[in-house]
Amino acid sequence: MKTVRLTSAQALVKWIIAQKIEQFDGSYEMAFKGVWGIFGHGNVAGIGEALEKYKTVLPTYRGHNEQGMAHAALAYTKEMQRRRFMAVTSSIGPGATNLVTAAALAHVNRLPILLLPGDVFADRRPDPVLQQIEDFEDGTVSANDCFRPVSRYFDRITRPEQLLNALPKAMSILTDPAMTGPVTLAFCQDVQAEAYNYPVSFFEPSYWNVRRIQPDRREIERLASTLEKSKKPVLIAGGGVKYSNAQDELKEFLDITKVPLVVTQAGKSVLVEKDEQNLGSIGVTGSSSANAIISDADFIISVGSRLQDFTTGSNGLIKAPVYSINVQAHDLTKHQSKPILGDAKVSLQLLKALSTNYKVSSGYISKYTAAKEKWLKDLEKITAPSLMNSLPSDSQVIGAVNRSVPENTIVIGAAGSMPGELHKLWKVLDQNTYHMEYGYSCMGYEISAGIGVNLATPNRPNVVFSGDGSYLMMNSELATAAMMGISMTLILTNNKGYGCINRLQKATGGAEFNNLFSDSKFDKQIEIDFVSHAKSMGAKAVYVSEIAELEVEVKNTIRKKGVKVIVIDTDPNISTVEGGAWWDVAIPETFTDSNKSNLRKDYLVARINQNKGFK
């Protein structure tokens, strides 16, 4: 057997370069776009040296925060529909634990990423090393054990030859449509530098396919048979439709049957908003048209959704039987669904073939069409710039930006007010133009996501929405974006605090406390100069004072290269009352203010309607 002597870190990088993955058009691309890294004593002499050695083949990107780097990597793979991904390396200690939040985000959103944190010395001779966590009861524990509950696969590399088994196992998880998510290989820092005689064959190109799980025909037939008997069916589209590239099959099925469509956060933009059967967003952040029709449905088909609480209105919105199509068995029986284990694309193809003689009634079409038309009129009113308030609302900002960008613009967001407002109010004008991280709802994702999206789609404009809270939490990657030559337009809405949670606090009976700056224990209130700050990070930045000015600025900058930041002050107290569904947020049993006691009573009444769809 022919061998080559390499350090284990060199072997890791050489192996990564050899991995190819099939794209939707049948071609093969390098599975890894590149590696993000911040070097420290736990990886600079091992992985750092190896990455420099192969930098002409596998690019290394440097960020300013490990979590931010991983968020950029995750946004990239999300935009690539999980057909390409990236790796992230960090040192031992805080560099590694900074990645844990991003690992959780990847785990919840089912996004592939390879995490390579440095680890303690395998031989333990210099213990305890700098930044080492010492467990008083377990000598095998390190800081990297924090990754275990938020990794799909976890391994600790304590010998160079372990890579021969660990790396193929990692790749099998990254390319598995059901199991994909974060893979963590905690890499002992002394082992990174140790050499081994690796088989040359280990570094030959490997070609990976993202398999399409074929559904059991009997399950699809039962679904088709139930659909034939239904009078008011609805189809829920989740992110699995995008990852399967099943948009065309979805459209064909809907065209034949005239079944109306509602979309989750991850499923939004599978069809354009103007499609007559697209009723918009479902659930807590949904449109009135989608929620009215699905609450009255007699049969529901869920495709590629994990049916989380924002989709189901905390299990209070959906009352009809649900058939769920999904590649992940864990998701199939949620909401007591009838399971169809299978890929969205092939499942919809088979379902369409079995449903050619089915079509909903003209009366039902008229009903959901009228509901949509009413919602569209409401939407125009909600997002109009003429509302009389001292400061613009988030909905007005969204409307202004939506009216001012090209149809193929990708809209990006994550946490706070914007995801909820965007889900119901943003008009999708082109397929695959809605990029929202709302599985983990992670503040600070937004700017990093702009980097990842632009790496994936450099020829398409993108617009990033971030509140001042998220911006202050993780703005460091703005400098990374500027240094990399990334193009993004950041809309920074300043409501001077956490406006979204402040509204929730008041709605659940609490006093305004510790969310807005004005209600927090600060000795001094300051005006943060976001424009100057963004400029200091390498961005072009302006402040606009009104909606009309915002529209002009967006139109002038959206197609320009580079990082652009537009700052606008917004009202923290205004949210969209139209649309939406009940969300289960527990109300205190007792209040010092007796006038608030009805809140608890109303909450208990709402809970009675939970799980009514369970049979």
pLDDT at 471: 97
The sign one gets for the Cα dihedral 297, 299, 305, 307 is positive
pLDDT at 387: 59
Over the stretch 441-493, which tens digit does the pLDDT of each residue have? 999 999 999 999 999 999 999 999 999 999 999 999 999 999 999 999 999 99
Given pLDDT bands bounded at 50, 70 and 90, which one contains residue 202? very high
Biggest CA-to-CA distance, the chain = 81
309/316 Cα distance (integer angstroms) = 9
pLDDT at 473: 95
Q: Which two tokens stand for residue 450?
A: 């702009």
Spatial neighbors of 227 by CB under 8 A, at least 6 apart, are: 233, 257, 259, 299, 301, 351, 355, 358
| Mean pLDDT computed over every residue of the chain | 95
20 vs 525, residue with greater confidence: 20
Kindly report the number of other CB atoms within 10 A of residue 160's CB atom: 22
Lowest pLDDT segment from 28-37, 59-68, 378-387? 378-387
Q: Which two tokens stand for residue 321?
A: 């039987």
476/472 Cα distance (integer angstroms) = 9
For 410-420, letters b (16+ CB in 10 Å) and e give bbbbbbbbbbb
294/283 Cα distance (integer angstroms) = 9
ω into 59 cis (within 30 of 0)? no
Mean pLDDT of 335-357: 96
Q: Give the 3-state secondary structure of residue 209.
A: coil
Given pLDDT bands bounded at 50, 70 and 90, which one contains residue 7? very high
Kindly report the number of other CB atoms within 10 A of residue 370's CB atom: 11
Map out the domains of the chain with their CATH numbers. Answer: 3-208 (3.40.50.970), 217-374 (3.40.50.1220), 391-569 (3.40.50.970), 585-615 (no CATH)
pLDDT at 575: 87
Long-range contacts of 2-5 (CB under 8 A, 24+ apart): 2/199, 2/200, 2/201, 3/197, 3/198, 3/199, 3/200, 4/197, 4/198, 4/200, 4/203, 5/195, 5/196, 5/197, 5/198
Lowest pLDDT segment from 279-293, 330-344, 597-611? 597-611
493/547 Cα distance (integer angstroms) = 12
421/499 Cα distance (integer angstroms) = 13
Q: Is the pTM of this model over 0.95?
A: yes
Mean pLDDT of 536-562: 97
Over the stretch 269-289, which tens digit does the pLDDT of each residue have? 999 999 999 999 999 999 999
pLDDT at 615: 61
Q: For residue 6, is pLDDT > 70?
A: yes
Given pLDDT bands bounded at 50, 70 and 90, which one contains residue 86? very high
| HEC-encoded secondary structure of 165-201 | HHHHHHHHHHCCCCCCCEEEEEEEHHHHHCEEEEEHH
C-beta separation of 210 from 21 below 8 A: yes
pLDDT at 389: 66
Q: For residue 198, is pLDDT > 90?
A: yes
Element housing 87 (H / E):
strand 85-90
Given pLDDT bands bounded at 50, 70 and 90, which one contains residue 574? confident
509 vs 246, residue with greater confidence: 246
Q: Which two tokens stand for residue 123?
A: 């031989």
Mean pLDDT of 71-99: 97
Kindly report the number of other CB atoms within 10 A of residue 390's CB atom: 6
pLDDT at 388: 61
pLDDT at 597: 81
Over the stretch 389-409, which tens digit does the pLDDT of each residue have? 689 999 999 999 999 999 999
Given pLDDT bands bounded at 50, 70 and 90, which one contains residue 591? confident
Cα of 203 vs its chain's centroid, Å: 33
pLDDT at 162: 98
pLDDT at 265: 97
